[in-house]
Amino acid sequence: MSRDSEMSHAARRGRGARRLWLSARPFLLASAVVAVAGMTAPILQRLPHANLSLLFMTGVLIVAVRYGLWPSIYASLLSFLAFNFFFTEPLYTFKVREEGDLATLVFFLLMASIAGNLAFRMRDAMTKREVATARTVVLQAMTQKVAGAATRDQILQILVDQLAVNFSCAVVATAAEDSAGTGAKQFTTGRIAKPLPSWNELLQSSTRLAGWTILPIDTKRGRIGAVAINRNIIIRDERDYANALTDQAAVALERTMLVGDLEEARLVSQREQLRVALLSSVSHDLRTPLSSVIGAASSLMVYASSLRDEDRVELLQSILEEAERLDRYIQNLLDMTRLGQGELKLQRDWEDVRDLISAASRRLRFNARAIRIKVDTSSDAQLLNVHGDLMEQVFVNLLDNAARYSPADGTISVTVTREAAAVVIEIADEGPGIPEADREKVFDPFYRVHERDRKSGTGLGLSICRGIVRAHGGEVTAHARSTGSGAMLRIRLPQGRNEFESLNE
């Protein structure tokens, strides 16, 4: 501690000496200039007095231009004295005999003050221009920075940091809660010596606060915040500059608010579309199987005695199949809700991919429907760390889809292979395939390749597959089958290698 204070003491002393030197230097140099003029004068002795005085005048002008008003007045007095002492009769006295010499003094003083004044203004203008240029550069840099900022908080932090650097003091910005629901917040930088202005004091920037300069942040929507600089800024230039920086930030803030509004509008319209699609799907996809069930069941009841055995079996079969279809649909709706509400908590466990496929084909009753499925797995890709129940649903939906589009004697092939850090599952059918333009759209909820096509199902299955796979950090995409016609759905699931990967050893 004591060393610190000693050091700061020494530093203070050093600083004082430096200041003294800085203010004395122009005068010492002015003296030197006059001395040079005085020593040069004897060489030019042959010239008349008037011309010698011009020599001193040159010195005064030099001092005026370089060091400003007061050193130049000092130099003119010194020049007059030197001129009077060395070069006018009576020599080596300060006596003034001729009126002309008095006039010389007056002219010296006059020239010195005019030139000094001019020089001062010139230098002042130059300094101001330098400051202005520097500020323009800062302003431009700031414009670029805030243009790159995406959020309100980033912009305000940039503003606060910039003002703090420029005014070398603490700065506080306060933002009111905005329309996008981003909460009110304060941004500070630097150490705040004076008590922090309160929320309201900042927002009602009309109030004056000792030690603070408060600038409002105004947009077309009104005041959205204020920035407080921990200094009294009195000079107009500085105030204008601070205002310019703040305005830049305000413009950027307005831009982010517009972007937020657009995003909000887009979400609302998307939700609306989804709601309409959901309603039409519920009415269509619930009603259709229900009408089959009701129709078949009532036929059985009314015509029970007169029906042939095979017809009765057929009616019963359709009741069963349609009811199972309803069940799958409801499962999908439930899964969609779980995914949509972000309530889904993955419960990962080790699952054999072949078990998942087998469970799915059991649920789809592939055995009874004589649908052939060929499964080809590589031994290092069989064990997956996934949420089994949900991945089973993915297989149910993908296999259901593949079966719907398969020709009567078609085979669905499932291939599971390993990549460095992922397992890739490909499900290919021998159907007509998916048109290239629709390969991304099929994952939109309720999208159907052909609106009237009963075959294309509820339009929910693939979007749920995508939701579930993405929840696992993976992706599912639609492709054309590499050989022959047909669609190929590819799931890529990030899976690190594990020590149990070789299941068959």
Partner 1 sequence: MSDSKAILVIEDEAHIRSFLRISLEAHGYGVLEARTGEGGLLLAGQNQPQLVIVDLGLPDMDGQQVIERLREWSEIPILVLSVRGDEKEKVRALDSGANDYVTKPAAISELMARVRVLLRKRDPGEVESAIYERNSLRIDLSRREVHRDGLAVHVTRKEYQLLRLLVRSAGRVLTHQYLLSEVWGPRFTSETHYLRVLVSGLRQKLGDDPADPHYIVTEQGVGYRLLD
Which residues bind to partner 1, rule: CB under 8 A?
320, 323-324, 327, 331, 334, 349-352, 354-359, 361, 367, 373, 375, 382-383, 388-389, 392, 414, 498, 500, 503-505
Residue 289 near residue 325, CB atoms below 8 Å: yes
285 vs 289: CA distance, rounded Å: 7
Sequential DSSP letters for 219-258: ETTEEEEEEEESS---SHHHHHHHHHHHHHHHHHHHHHHH
285 vs 208: CA distance, rounded Å: 67
Closer residue to partner 1 in complex, CB, 153/389: 389
User: Minimal distance in Å, beta carbon 346 to partner 1?
Assistant: 13
Tokens of 267: 């979400």
Tokens of 122: 């010139």
Closer residue to partner 1 in complex, CB, 387/448: 387
Closer residue to partner 1 in complex, CB, 76/382: 382
Closer residue to partner 1 in complex, CB, 157/331: 331
User: Minimal distance in Å, beta carbon 389 to partner 1?
Assistant: 5
Half-sphere exposure of 72 (CA within 13 A, CB side): 27
Helices (H), 282-306: 287-303
User: Minimal distance in Å, beta carbon 148 to partner 1?
Assistant: 46
Q: Who's near 297: CB < 8 A, 6+ residues apart?
A: 315, 319
Closer residue to partner 1 in complex, CB, 6/349: 349
| Omega before 90 within 30 of 0, i.e. cis | yes
Element (H, E) at 333: helix 309-340
Closer residue to partner 1 in complex, CB, 269/317: 317
User: Minimal distance in Å, beta carbon 379 to partner 1?
Assistant: 9
Closer residue to partner 1 in complex, CB, 84/413: 413
Angle at 431 between CA 428 and CA 436, to 5 degrees: 80
Phi, psi of 415 (to 5 degrees): -120, 130
How are beta strands 222-229 and 213-219 bridged, if at all? antiparallel
Ramachandran area for residue 92 (φ above 0: left; ψ -120 to 50: alpha; else beta): left
Closer residue to partner 1 in complex, CB, 105/356: 356
Residue 323 CB neighbour total at 10 angstroms: 13
Phi, psi of 256 (to 5 degrees): -65, -35
User: Minimal distance in Å, beta carbon 383 to partner 1?
Assistant: 6
Closer residue to partner 1 in complex, CB, 125/330: 330
Tokens of 5: 């204070």
Closer residue to partner 1 in complex, CB, 175/383: 383
176 vs 203: CA distance, rounded Å: 8
CA dihedral 35→41→43→49, nearest 10 degrees, is -170
